[in-house]
Amino acid sequence: MTPAPIPEGVAPVADRVLGFSVGARNVRGRVVRLDAALNAVLAAHDYPAPLATVLGEALVLTALLGATLREDEGQLTLQAQSKGGPVDLLVCDYRAGAVRGYLRHDGSNVEPGLDLHALFGEGHLAITLDPTAAAERYQGIVPLEGASLAEAAEGYFANSEQLPTLIRLAVRWDATTGWVGGGLLVQHLARSEIGGERLSIADMNPDWQHVLALASTMSDDELTDLSLSEETLIWRLFHDEEVRVVPGPVPTRGCRCTLAHIKDVLSSFPPEERAEMAGDDGRIKVDCAFCARVFAVDV
């Protein structure tokens, strides 16, 4: 069953990214909250609640990863493709603070509490960085493994980046506030940005083991409790450590499909090709899967 729309007059305002580093432990991390952005993305689709939840987790994860980019560094895309489960495609991307996403499913009944394999079957997880023209495109691909999307992403960093990583993702529905998502990412720096040495077996390092034990205590309720600030969450984990925090860009919902943009793209095609694209009514219909809208353009 899909949850009801957000009650009139309720205005989610908690979207935020907060980066942090624990210099003495050679560790960095981020906390993300998605509120208005998450509700705006999910409102465009009539997903069953379990599918809305997994897409919400993917959007939180995309915001966690994308927040490392500078505004001029391009776009990060997270994509899960699979077969054998009700979901065969999930795509989210991040660009200059804006997140968007959608998933494709077969319409079968999906029960709450299904693990990653039950939802997707066999597949792979790809993370792609499309930077500015000055740099090359980068893509890492790993099997879609683990009980959750967070575990699959941890596997990506372990196998593709060789970077010890802890990820926590939580999404909940509240009848008063709508959807709320929260995420925590903590990483041991493979080559320290704050003075530490490079470690050949970082996951055996006592500093990383200490931070891992602390960060693993973060609960889903804490991540989605809007009465707890991001600073409070970090303080609860690392109040005995010297922590530096750095606010990140405010996440927003960011589908870039507009009628003007679509017209501009179509104008690059020769008139005869545009005529072939048109329907019987003489209009070209362009379907945006991200915002679930169909744009009609006169030839």
Q: Over pLDDT 70: what percentage of the chain?
A: 89
For residue 64, is pLDDT > 90? yes
For residue 5, the model assigns a pLDDT of: 39
Are 17 and 248 a contacting pair, CB within 8 Å? yes
Residue 156 tokens read as: 């990506």
Segment 3-39, tens digit of pLDDT: 333 344 433 358 999 999 999 999 999 999 999 999 9
- In angstroms, the CA 281 to CA 288 distance is 20
pLDDT band for position 190 (cuts 50, 70, 90): low
Per-domain residue ranges for the chain? 16-253, 259-298
Average confidence score pLDDT of the chain: 85
- Which of the pair, 190 or 26, is modelled with greater confidence? 26
Neighbours of 173 (CB within 10 A): 18
Amino acid at 32: V
Q: For the chain, what is the radius of gyration of the CA atoms?
A: 20
Average the pLDDT over 287-294 and give the result. 75
pLDDT in tens, 236-269: 999 999 999 999 889 999 877 777 777 888 888 8
Please state the rounded mean pLDDT for residues 281-289.
79
Render pLDDT for 69-108 as a digit per residue (tens, 0 to 9).
876 678 899 999 999 999 999 999 999 899 999 999 998 8
Contact 18, 174 (CB under 8 A): no
Distance between first and last Cα of the chain: 41
pTM assigned to the model? 0.86
Q: How far apart are CA 270 and CA 26, in angstroms?
A: 56
What number is the average pLDDT over the span 114-124? 94
pLDDT (mean) for 171-184 = 92
CATH topology for 16-253 is: Hsp33 domain (3.55.30)
- Give the DSSP letter of residue 186: E
Which of 138-142, 149-153, 264-268, 293-297 has the lowest average pLDDT? 293-297
CB-based burial label for 260 (10 Å; 0-12, 13-18, 19+)? exposed
Q: What pLDDT score was predicted for residue 265?
A: 80
Confidence of residue 135 (pLDDT cuts 50, 70, 90): low
pLDDT at residue 202 tops 90: no
